[in-house]
Structure 1
Amino acid sequence: MRRTAAAPAARSHLRLTRRGRLVLVAAAAAPLVAAAVWFGVSSGSAAAGGVSAGAPASIEHVTVRPGESLWQIAETVAPHDDPREVIDAIVDMNGLQSSVVTPGESLAIPPQYAK
């Protein structure tokens, strides 16, 4: 019986250049950097607003009285602020389509204007 030699292992001629290594490292590090930025921004926004992430904010509600407009509510809730800004904040917070309100409607007041 004759023994045959094993075939030599094939060597690849593929080499990773310096630029290729940099691209590979950047692609591997990008998700980590993105996660760190996302966590930093989301925890920083809670701290900037003065609300901790674990404690829900207490939201004040106002019930619209007959004949009352959103402008009047804005002036009552935040007498020293521009009523237009207060109205915009109330409309945004409550998801209203316009500034028209109906009597008996309950509106959440943004925390920065709550008493």
Structure 2
Amino acid sequence: MSTAILSAGPSAPRIAAPRTRLRLTARGRRVLAALAAAPVVAGLAAAIIGGGTALASREDGAGAEAFDIVTVSAGDTLWSIAQEVAPGHDPRDVIYELKNLNNLAGGMLTPGQQISVPAAFGH
């Protein structure tokens, strides 16, 4: 804290000037709040506007895979299809991939049904 000393000369008594407080009006408080909130609002707007474009901008096709289609014959099971399409892989892993890819909850197959097989397994 500093106080200002006023003097009229070397022998005059010193009088301390009163210190004034900064007062904000209602309008000043609104302006100050708006200035403080502006960077937050701008950041949120940029995140909302630009957030979805990062997911939709796959120009190289990173998520696209090639698939083969296998038609289920009478008596086929997921195990037999897994052994047929991927003889060098563990059938349990292949069945897991087939169930996830084709959304097969119970693993039941019907003749004539078409099953998508990742091309990574080959034929």
Instruction: Give the alignment partner of residue 82 of structure 2, picking from 32, 49, 74.
Output: 74
The structure carrying a bigger helix percent of its residues is 1
Deviations 1:54-95 (A, max 9, x none): xxx653211112222101111211222232222122122222
Secondary structure of 1:109's counterpart equals strand
Give TM-score scaled by structure 1 length: 0.60
Higher relative contact order (CA 8 A, sep 6+): 1
Gapped regions of structure 2 (runs ≥ 5): 1-25
Q: CA deviation at 1:37?
A: 4.2
Give TM-score scaled by structure 2 length: 0.57
Quote the RMSD (CA, aligned, Å).
3.0
Question: Percent identity of the aligned residues?
Answer: 28
Q: CA deviation at 1:41?
A: 3.5
| Inter-CA distance 43–114: structure 2 relative to 1 (3 Å threshold) | farther
The aligned residue for residue 27 of structure 2 is 12
Pick which of 105-114 and 70-79 moved more. Answer: 105-114
| Inter-CA distance 66–81: structure 2 relative to 1 (3 Å threshold) | same
Instruction: Give the Cα–Cα distance (whole angstroms) in 1 for the partners of residues 57 and 109 of structure 2.
Output: 35
- Which one has the largest radius of gyration? 2
Secondary structure of 1:107's counterpart equals strand
Q: CA deviation at 1:110?
A: 2.7
The aligned residue for residue 71 of structure 2 is 63
Instruction: Give the Cα–Cα distance (whole angstroms) in 1 for the partners of residues 95 and 59 of structure 2.
Output: 23
The structure carrying a bigger strand percent of its residues is 2
Aligned residues: 97
Gapped regions of structure 1 (runs ≥ 5): 1-10, 52-56
Pick which of 39-48 and 23-32 moved more. Answer: 39-48
